[in-house]
Every structure is written in structure tokens, then in C-alpha cells.
């Protein structure tokens, strides 16, 4: 949907700055195309090197098809992994490494022409970027790539740390915390890394939180109807007083969605007959869990399209599909389904009429894509923000979440249970109807006077009036 801007003034020039991983890159690329199609000049900052091949491949193809968006490449300062303690998750290390290199951007951004009006940066570098922006005398925004619900938890974190010895421990880890305006949140949904002061993730978050009070605005990839409770809690200062203005501008969308999924097998399947299984860009199930999932798919008797990942970082993922799930499974299920290893266009798949359900880890981009495209979810969160995101799916009512399945690989979920879950997902008329309703609400948020579109347009106009 291309929307022409109505208010007068020179086009604003904005810099967009994501951090590491496809889950952070995708929403920034979407925001870039949405702002560009509404008349903004965009400079998109990309760091070298990237952690995954998916990031570098995606960036090359994006800039070749979007020549009007300028790419500003930026070489990270060299670092040793050991500088970052004992957790060697390469994505977490990259968050820190990018934050430590931000000052190098000053000369690159100060000489841009026309000069910048603002920078929109990932939360995980917001603190160093807001210092940089203040030196450059430009406005600073952040784009939250997770749910408003998870963001509320993040901003409540300092308060939570103070409560640790009281309410949190009173639950013995099985209890609930009360987030003002959000009601009870199960402690077991909070990623343990966030509660561990020595964890690199907790350190990155707490370093960047103070900047949230100084920013010009906080964009979130969500929409009012979808997460009204959390948005209200953030707006009313319930979870933290004096936050920058909250701008739910989602669901962010790509413009290439209409393109074919490029899977002739899918084109031959009956409408809403295929279950799509994917755990995002950086989550690998154990070999045992992969085996149980293959058993479950076969037992469900349902048509399936499964994107298989065996390693967290794609560059390390060298085995073939047959080495992982076995030739005999592939032979037996030849007519029933497809297993793909490698990058697929997930949005195009979710948009395909043959897809009737989505077994998802509930990465926030996956959740918002399923919402926008009206696909019900079987939530199988694995780590990070995914349980809190699954709570949103459950509350909105367009998905199932079987909490007993555990997360972080703590339990092996058996094939029979997986088959039951998939059957329930694919047979539920209620979920399907609710997913269509969610799709309609997402569409309305993006209409010209819709809640998200109004905020995005208001933001662009505010830059124009400052020119």
C-alpha cells in the first residue's frame, strides 16, 4: 500500500540502525520501506561483519531491489569473544560489540546530505545512539522488535530486581509477578537470562534502559487492538513513569509479500490444509526433539511444510535434510509434506491460501506476520521473549499454547502429543475464525486513518514541520 503524504515540507532524512539477527533486521527493513514509500529519505546502517549468512544475503538482495534506500556500511571495532564473559551466544556478543562501536558513526552521519532529522535505533544500542544523536543535534527514536508486553517487562526490570527478594522469590520461581496494568505474569515466562545480573543479555538491557526516558519516541511493532492492555500500561506510566511517547505503528509489513512463495508443491494443496512449522532464524531443536516432531507430523496425518534448523547460526548448519530426519521419513511422507533446510520467504508462505496453521516458536515477527495474514498459531516458545509473546497469542485468542511442553529444551515433547496439538490446531474452526478477525483488525490499523497509520504519518509530519 503506497500512501502519498499530504502535508507540505521537505522530505525528512532518517537513519535506521538495527542490531544483530534476522529478528531485529526484518522489522527495520520493513520500517525502512514503509517510511520510504511515505516520502522519507532513508539511510540504513548495516554493520560488518554480520553474525549469520541470512543477514548478509538478505541485505544484498534488499539493497539491489530498493536502490532508493541508501546503505551505510559500518565496520565493527575488532574484539575478542573472551571480553564478553563466559556466554558466547554470538548474537548477544554482537549486540555489545555494536554498542561499543557506535561512536565511529559520528563522522559518517555528520557529513550526510541532506542532513539527518532523526535516527531510529534498536533498543539494544539505544544508549550509545542517544549520546551520538545529541552530539549531532538530531532526534532519537527506538523501534521495539518484540511485543509491547515483553517491552513492559523490560522497563519494569529495575523494579523487579528490587522485588527479587520479596515477591519474586516468594513464588519460588513458580509464582507470579504483578506488572502494573498488566495483571499477573508467570515468573516461568521470564527468560532466566534477564534475571541473572551476570548474563550478557541482562547487562545489555540494563545499560540501555535509562535512554528510554530521554528518547523522542518509542516505536513498537504492534497495534492498539492487538495489545491494548500493555500499550495502555506503558502510556499511563504504570510500568515506568516518564517513558518517551509510545508509538505502536505495527504490524510492520513488507511490500514483496504478494510475490509467490516459489513452492509448486504448496500451490497444489487444498486451501488451509497445510500446517507450516518454523522456529525462526536462530532456534535449533535438539536432534531428539526433531525426531519426535517428525513422528508427530506423520501421526497427525496432516499436510505439512517444515523449515528445519539444526544449528543456531546458519553458517554452521551444514547437514542435509536427509542426514537429520532420515531418508525413510522423507520417503514415507513424500506426498504429505515438504521439509526445507535454508531460508524461505516466511511471509509469502503464511500468505499462501494452502496454509491453515502455524507451529511457531513465537518470535515476535512470526507472531505479527501470522496476525497480519490471519493464520492461527500453535505456540511452542523456546527461549527469550517467546513465552511472553505466546501469552499475547493466547490472550488475543488466535492460538493454542500447551504450557506443559516446557521450553529451553527442558523436556522432550513426544510425537503423540505433537500430533494431538497439530490436529487440534488444524481442526479448530474457532481459532480459524478468530485469526481472520485478527487479520481484519491488523488491516484496519494500517488503513489511512487506522491507529498505526495515523501515528506513522504524524511522526513523518512532525519531522517536516521541524525542517
Q: Residues with catalytic annotation? A: 24, 122
CB 302 to ligand UDP: min, Å: 20
Tell me the three cell numbers of residue 18.
538495527
Q: What share of the chain is helix, strand, coil (3-state, %, to 5)?
A: 50, 15, 35
User: In the stretch 217-246, what mask flags binding to ligand UDP with x, by CB under 6 A?
Assistant: ------------------------------
Between residues 23 and 337, which has the closer beta carbon with respect to ligand UDP?
23
What sections of 189-227 are H helices per DSSP?
200-208
CB 156 to ligand UDP: min, Å: 17
Between residues 106 and 411, which has the closer beta carbon with respect to ligand UDP?
411
For residue 78, give the 3-state DSSP assignment.
Answer: coil
Q: Is 312 in the site for ligand UDP (CB under 6 A)?
A: yes
CB 404 to ligand UDP: min, Å: 19
Count CB-CB contacts under 10 A for residue 18: 28
Helices 148-163, 386-396: axis angle to 10 degrees equals: 120
Query: Is residue 397 left, alpha or beta, with left meaning phi > 0 and alpha meaning psi from -120 to 50?
Result: left
Question: Which of 5, 85, 87, 161 contacts ligand UDP by CB under 6 A?
Answer: 87
Closest CA to 257 of 24, 1, 57: 1
Question: Which of 217, 280, 381, 421 contacts ligand UDP by CB under 6 A?
Answer: 280
Between residues 21 and 376, which has the closer beta carbon with respect to ligand UDP?
21
Q: Which residues of 222-256 are buried (b: 16+ CB within 10 A; e: fewer)?
A: bbbbbbebbbebbeeebbbeebbebbbbbbbbbee
User: In the stretch 150-179, what mask flags binding to ligand UDP with x, by CB under 6 A?
Assistant: ------------------------------
Q: Is 22 in the site for ligand UDP (CB under 6 A)?
A: yes
Q: Is 305 in the site for ligand UDP (CB under 6 A)?
A: no
Q: Is 116 in the site for ligand UDP (CB under 6 A)?
A: no
Question: Which range binds ligand UDP by CB under 6 A, 9-17, 179-187, 275-283, 394-402?
Answer: 275-283
CA distances (Å), 98 to each of 51, 76, 194, 381, in order? 12, 6, 20, 27
Sheet holding 274-278, edge to edge: 337-341, 303-308, 274-278, 355-360, 377-379, 399-401
CB 83 to ligand UDP: min, Å: 17
**Which residues does residue 142 pair with via DSSP β-bridges, in sequence order?**
121, 218
CA distances (Å), 238 to each of 214, 243, 248, 302, in order? 18, 10, 17, 45
User: Cα 373 to the chain's mean position, in Å?
Assistant: 16
Q: Is 365 in the site for ligand UDP (CB under 6 A)?
A: yes
Q: Is 26 in the site for ligand UDP (CB under 6 A)?
A: yes
CB 281 to ligand UDP: min, Å: 3
CB 365 to ligand UDP: min, Å: 3
Q: Is 201 in the site for ligand UDP (CB under 6 A)?
A: yes
CB 345 to ligand UDP: min, Å: 6
Q: Is 21 in the site for ligand UDP (CB under 6 A)?
A: yes
Between residues 13 and 352, which has the closer beta carbon with respect to ligand UDP?
352
Query: Is residue 445 left, alpha or beta, with left meaning phi > 0 and alpha meaning psi from -120 to 50?
Result: alpha
CA distances (Å), 411 to each of 54, 283, 320, in order? 29, 16, 26
Using CB under 6 A, count the residues that bind ligand UDP.
Answer: 29
Q: Is 188 in the site for ligand UDP (CB under 6 A)?
A: no
> Using CB under 6 A as the criterion, which residues of the chain lie in contact with ligand UDP when the complex forms?
21-23, 26, 87, 89, 191, 193, 201, 278, 280-284, 307, 312, 343-347, 363-366, 369, 383-384
Amino acid at each position: 500500500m503506497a500512501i502519498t503524504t499530504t502535508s507540505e515540507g521537505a522530505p525528512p532524512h532518517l537513519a535506521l540502525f538495527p542490531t544483530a539477527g534476522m529478528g531485529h533486521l526484518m522489522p527495520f527493513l520493513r520500517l525502512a520501506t514503509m517510511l520510504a514509500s511515505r516520502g522519507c529519505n532513508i539511510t540504513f546502517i548495516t554493520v560488518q561483519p554480520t553474525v549469520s549468512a541470512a543477514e548478509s544475503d538478505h541485505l544484498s538482495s534488499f539493497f539491489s531491489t530498493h536502490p532508493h534506500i541508501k546503505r551505510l556500511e559500518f565496520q565493527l571495532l575488532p574484539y575478542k569473544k573472551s571480553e564478553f564473559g563466559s556466554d558466547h551466544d554470538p548474537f548477544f556478543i554482537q549486540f555489545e560489540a555494536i554498542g561499543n562501536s557506535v561512536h565511529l558513526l559520528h563522522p559518517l552521519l555528520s557529513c550526510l546530505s541532506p542532513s539527518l532529522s532523526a535516527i531510529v535505533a534498536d533498543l539494544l544500542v539505544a544508549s550509545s545512539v542517544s549520546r551520538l544523536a545529541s552530539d549531532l543535534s538530531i532526534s532519537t527514536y527506538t523501534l521495539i522488535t518484540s511485543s509491547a508486553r515483553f517491552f513492559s517487562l523490560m522497563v519494569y526490570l529495575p523494579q523487579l530486581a528490587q522485588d527479587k527478594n520479596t515477591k519474586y522469590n516468594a513464588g519460588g520461581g513458580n509464582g507470579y509477578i504483578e506488572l502494573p496494568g498488566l495483571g499477573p505474569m508467570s515468573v516461568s515466562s521470564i527468560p532466566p537470562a534477564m534475571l541473572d545480573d551476570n548474563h550478557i543479555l541482562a547487562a545489555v538491557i540494563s545499560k540501555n534502559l535509562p535512554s528510554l526516558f530521554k528518547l523522542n519516541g518509542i516505536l513498537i511493532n504492534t497495534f492498539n487492538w492487538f495489545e491494548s492492555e500493555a500499550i495502555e500500561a506503558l502510556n499511563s506510566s504504570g510500568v515506568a513513569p516518564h517513558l518517551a511517547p509510545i508509538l505502536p505503528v505495527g504490524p510492520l509489513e513488507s511490500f514483496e509479500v504478494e510475490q509467490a512463495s516459489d513452492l509448486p508443491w504448496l500451490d497444489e494443496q487444498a486451501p488451509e490444509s497445510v500446517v507450516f512449522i518454523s522456529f525462526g532464524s536462530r532456534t535449533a531443536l535438539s536432534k531428539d526433539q526433531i525426531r519426535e516432531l517428525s513422528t508427530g507430523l506423520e501421526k497427525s496425518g496432516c499436510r505439512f511444510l517444515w523449515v528445519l534448523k539444526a544449528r543456531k547460526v546458519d553458517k554452521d548448519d551444514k547437514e542435509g535434510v536427509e542426514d537429520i530426519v532420515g531418508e525413510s521419513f522423507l520417503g514415507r511422507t513424500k506426498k504429505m509434506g515438504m521439509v526445507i533446510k535454508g531460508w524461505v520467504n516466511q511471509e509469502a508462505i503464511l500468505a499462501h491460501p494452502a496454509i491453515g496453521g502455524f507451529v511457531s516458536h513465537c518470535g515476535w515477527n512470526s507472531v505479527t506476520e501470522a496476525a497480519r495474514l490471519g493464520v492461527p498459531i500453535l505456540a511452542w516458545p523456546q527461549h527469550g521473549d517467546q513465552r511472553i509473546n505466546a501469552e499475547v497469542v493466547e490472550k488475543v485468542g488466535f492460538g493454542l499454547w500447551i504450557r506443559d511442553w516446557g521450553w529451553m529444551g527442558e523436556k522432550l515433547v513426544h510425537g503423540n502429543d505433537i500430533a494431538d496439538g497439530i490436529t487440534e490446531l488444524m481442526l479448530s474452526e474457532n481459532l480459524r475464525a478468530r485469526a481472520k478477525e485478527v487479520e481484519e483488525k491488523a488491516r484496519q490499523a494500517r488503513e489511512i486513518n487506522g491507529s498505526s497509520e495515523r501515528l506513522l504519518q504524524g511522526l513523518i509530519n512532525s519531522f517536516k514541520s521541524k525542517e
